Amino acid sequence: AQTVTQSQPEMSVQEAETVTLSCTYDTSESDYYLFWYKQPPSRQMILVIRQEAYKQQNATENRFSVNFQKAAKSFSLKISDSQLGDAAMYFCAYRNAMNRDDKIIFGKGTRLHILP
């Protein structure tokens, strides 16, 4: 069974600085998707960034980028120029790309605090 591990329950970063959130996963599949979701206090789950496993290039979305290391099964999220609005719970997630078992598994989350 696939698992997703986020080893940092909480992190803090100074406003305008850069922070990296860690995520590792375990799977025997070769084709899958990886995601980072953000959950602010409003509790709405918002997609931050996605990565297809077959793509070697790391995904980027404005201030958000990932470091995808397929061999190491690592998928970290880097937030540059942190802003107060980035304060939230961040979840790493994995999804098989095979229809027979395409459920999405989430890590337990990392709570990110932004210090003014």
- Report the DSSP pairing between strands 110-115 and 10-14: parallel
Of residues 43, 57, 62, 72, which one binds other proteins by CB under 8 A? 43
Q: Which is nearer to other proteins, 19 or 34 (CB)?
A: 34
Site map 19..38 versus other proteins, x via CB under 8 A: --------------x-x---
Distances (CA, A) of 48 to 1, 30, 37, 38, 72: 25, 23, 5, 6, 22
Phi/psi of residue 99, each to 5°? -65, -25
Q: Which is nearer to other proteins, 103 or 116 (CB)?
A: 103
Strand-pairing partners, residue 105, are: 94
Residue 15: CB minimum distance to other proteins, A: 27
Q: Which one, of 90, 78, 102, lies nearest residue 37 by Cα?
A: 90
Which residue's structure tokens are 């989430």? 106
Site for other proteins in 55-114 (CB under 8 A): 91, 93, 95, 97-99, 101-109
Which residues lie near other proteins (CB under 8 A)? 33, 35, 43-45, 47, 50, 52, 91, 93, 95, 97-99, 101-109
